[in-house]
A and B are shown apart, each in its own frame.
Chain A
């Protein structure tokens, strides 16, 4: 390949083929190295959204501890979840259920069915959560009773701060037996 290149350049220029092709190779190599260096900031710019460390954990208010603690059945609450979408901040409403765990502590369940993502409804008369899409049945504590869902309703991290119940809203992978965070 080099010989061919050298010969043609030689024909055109009529002088010192070896030196010319060596210089051409050096120039080509130099251009490749400089080009690679120059493209580093551009590549970093493109990859920024992918390599960005996750947004700081955000906690959403659910309601006051006193009010929720006095309710007996699971209570449906709508929370506001703040998410970053590039340069925008999106605040969206998400439904959750507040229950009491066996120790009497407040706990928060995601209303998203772990089967295919429909919103599960609390049926007070039957004392069960029922998913309207494919008839998944869950107990008042969120445990799976019957139906196609692979696991019980997903419990969200929650804490109590200054008398207010707060929840860290997350999505979980559907159709798998174990709870797995996806965002």
Chain B
């Protein structure tokens, strides 16, 4: 009882002392902010601050940028096959700063890979994975794989042509896994084929599951780093140890600003594009993954038949495992790279091989005229789509309303029977919704007025004729009805 009283007296005294000490002092006593800052900022950096140490914090900064831009993209994105593309088009074409934020997010994913490779290379060259830093390296490797997973799952979400086909190929690779491959592929896709359930699964992985793991492993990685202490320079330095704050903090902040400036300039002057909506029936499309997956993509081309397991699983598996377990079989304390010629040569060889594979892939694409032409066509389609104004989706219930209304306009109703009698719907789809053979006619009235439509129907453009469109040979009144129907498709 008495001790309680005396304690509360003490508390009161402390409270009034805090009031005198100012806001910061009070906040510090309540939260321990100062000691937290002390722990964060006053970590000794052996041999002093260096540019070589900026990559880790640069990655942390990039990850936060991805989280923030990702959250803002979620304001408008809908993860379903029938809306994903429309909502990303809305973000890109309609929403203020939407294209900019999406571009920061898309370019940010590439930046993560680049800085990750720099971070890993620095750690490797400095031999900083050795000794008590072994588990720290392993946690870093896990983060690498998680980041590659983020890049892979995020790529599908816009549901445009390249997203759809690149992910179709990417998930097909899983079926090479012996025994359980097919099951794994179906599990990831949510069925045997790519569809709306695939979008849901990739969305959950990209937005919840993998980020949760990344947060956890970033925590583990930073904790293990502080537990082991900074590795410091390769050779004993003349410089004494220096605290993390201020010089290293300034270097890190400068790097973060440089990253942001690069991303901002890229996003402003070369915004990320969106291609036409995924068309699963398109048999012409040549999928190509993002640049950092191109070497693997090229590598897979060389493995066929029974050997493909070796190329697709065994060899990459061995490389990944070797990288993961590096600190456990490379136990010599030697850190100077010039005294570790074998390790450095292998590391360099792997990256040179990846670079060569990437170059070969590009050269193969450019040398084959039909491939080069198709890829050029795909690029052009993307440019054309980007120039088109945003087309809103017609909500489900509205389609019924429009169809009911159609019956009240006799001319359009007559046009509908002509549309079907002339087999226009065979290529343009029932109700003009479009198929793999021919574009949709819904909303065409926004592009062409009645006169233009009549001219095109009588004399299609060369591109249309190549696509299989035949000139319409109808009586004037039938043509009028057909046009009335096509114009009514909204």
Hey, which bits of chain A sit against chain B, CB under 8 A?
1, 4-5, 8, 12-13, 20, 23-24, 27, 30-31, 34, 38, 40-42, 44-48, 51, 80, 82, 84-93
Contact = CB atoms under 8 A, between A and B. Distances in A.
B260 interface: yes
B394 A91 contact: yes
A41 B100 contact: yes
Given A4-B24, A44-B97, A45-B95, A89 B393 contact: yes
Contacts of A8: 28, 34, 38
Given A48-B96, A91-B401, A41 B22 contact: no
B253 interface: yes
B: contact size bracket: 35 or more
B398 A51 contact: no
Contact of B398 (A31, A48, A90): A90
Interface stretch (B4-12, B86-94, B363-371): B86-94
A8 to B, nearest CB: 5
A92 B398 CA distance: 6
Nearest to B257: A34
Nearest to B86: A87
A88 B75 CA distance: 15
20 contacts: A1-B22, A1-B23, A8-B28, A13-B243, A13-B245, A23-B246, A31-B253, A38-B260, A40-B97, A42-B68, A42-B72, A44-B97, A45-B101, A80-B402, A85-B395, A87-B392, A88-B392, A90-B398, A91-B395, A91-B401
Interface in B239-260: 243, 245-246, 249-250, 253, 257, 260
Given A4-B22, A27-B249, A48-B98, A12 B392 contact: no
Contacts of A13: 42, 243, 245
| Closest 4 pairs between A and B when the two form their complex, measured CB to CB | A91-B398, A41-B97, A87-B90, A89-B392
Nearest to B73: A45
A44 B21 contact: no
B95 A88 contact: no
B60 interface: no
Given A4-B21, A47-B96, A91-B394, A42 B101 contact: yes
B425 interface: no
B24 A1 contact: yes
B405 interface: yes
B394 A89 contact: yes
- The A contact surface, by secondary structure, is helix
Contacts of A27: 246, 249-250, 253
Interface of B: 21-25, 28, 34, 38, 42, 68-69, 72, 75-76, 83, 86-87, 89-90, 94-98, 100-101, 243, 245-246, 249-250, 253, 257, 260, 390, 392-395, 397-398, 401-402, 405, 490
Contacts of A42: 68-69, 72, 97, 101
Nearest to A41: B97
A87 B394 contact: no
A86 B75 contact: no
A86 B98 CA distance: 14
Contacts of A90: 395, 397-398
Nearest to B83: A87
Nearest to B34: A8
Contacts of A88: 392-395
B87 A46 contact: no
A20 B23 contact: no
Contact of B75 (A38, A40, A45): A45
Most chain A beta-carbon neighbours within 10 Å: one of B100, B101, B397, B398: B398
A143 to B, nearest CB: 30
Nearest to B69: A42
Contacts of B86: 87
Contact of B96 (A31, A38, A51, A92): A51
Contacts of A85: 395
